Structure 1
Amino acid sequence: MQIKDKKAIVTGAASGLGLAFSKELLRNGAATIILVDIQETEGKAIAEKLNSEFGKKRAIFLHCDVTKNSEFDATFKEAVNILGGLDILINNAGVVNEQNFAKAVEVNVTAVIRGSLLATQQMGKDTGGKGGVIVNVSSIAGLQAIPNCPIYSTTKHAIIGFSRSFSQPYHYQRTGVRILVLCPELTDISVSENSSTNENFQCPDLIEIEKNIHPQRVENVAHGLVYAIRCAQNGSIWVSEEGKPVYEVQLPDTLPAKTKIEDN
Structure 2
Amino acid sequence: MQIKDKRVIVTGATNDLGLTFSRELLRNGALIIALIDIRQSPGEQAVKNLNNEFGRKRAVFLHCDVTNNSEFNTTFKEAINILGGLDILVNNVDVINEIDFSKAIDINVTTIIRGTLLGIQQMRKDSGGKGGVIVNISSTAGLRAVSQLPVYSATKHAIVSFSRSFAQPYHYDRTSVKVIVMCPGLTGTPILEDLPQGISSADILQKYQPQRVESVAHGLIYIVRCAQNGSVWINEEGKPVYEVQLPDTLPQKKTEVDMKEN
Query: What TM-score results when the alignment is normalised by the length of structure 2?
Result: 0.94
Q: Quote the residue 2:76 is aligned against.
A: 76
Q: 1:215 aligns with which of 205, 210, 213?
A: 210
1:178-201, CA deviations, whole angstroms, 9 ceiling, x for partnerless residues? 0000000111322xx54xxxxxx3
Determine whether 1:255 maps to 2:250: yes
Indicate conservation of the 8 Å contact 2:33/2:59, yes or no: yes
Tell me which residue corresponds to 2:260. Answer: none
SS in 2 for 1:189: coil
Give the aligned partner of residue 203 of structure 1.
Answer: 195
Task: Please tell me the root mean square deviation across aligned C-alpha atoms, in Å.
Answer: 1.1
SS of the residue 2:67 aligns to: coil
Once the two structures are superposed, the pairs formed by residues 168-183 of structure 1 within 5 Å of their partners are: 168-183=168-183
CA distance in 2, matches of 1:247, 1:103: 31
After superposition, give the CA deviation of every residue in 1:168-222 in whole Å (9 maximum; x if it has no partner).
00000000000000000111322xx54xxxxxx3225243132133321000000
Q: Distance in 1 between matches of 2:171 and 2:161?
A: 15
* 2:61 pairs with 1:61: yes
Within 1, Cα distance between the matches of 2:138 and 2:234?
Answer: 9
Unaligned runs of at least 5 residues, structure 2: 258-262
Q: CA separation in 2, counterparts of 1:62 and 1:82?
A: 10
Shift in Å, 1:147: 1.2
Aligned residues of 1:189 and 1:218 also touching (Cα < 8 A): no
SS in 2 for 1:253: coil
Unaligned ranges ≥5, structure 1: 195-200
Q: Which residue of 2 aligns with 1:94?
A: 94
Structure 1 runs (4+) deviating above 2 angstroms are 201-207, 259-262
Deviation at residue 85 of structure 1 after TM alignment: 0.3
Structure 1 residue 125: Cα displacement:
0.3
Partner of 2:22 in structure 1? 22
Say which SS state the counterpart of residue 79 (structure 2) adopts.
Answer: helix
- 1:148 & 1:175 partners in 2: Cα distance? 39
Contact 2:17 2:188 in 1 (8 A): no
The alpha carbon displacement at 1:27 in A equals 0.4
| Amino acid corresponding to residue 194 of structure 2 in structure 1 | Q
- Aligned partner of residue 24 in structure 1, secondary structure: helix
Distance 1:212 1:67 in 2: 30
Q: CA deviation at 1:9?
A: 0.3
| SS of residue matched to 2:202 | helix
Q: Distance in 2 between matches of 1:209 and 1:63?
A: 30
Residue 220 of structure 2: aligned partner: 225
Distance 2:95 2:183 in 1: 15
TM value normalised by structure 1: 0.94
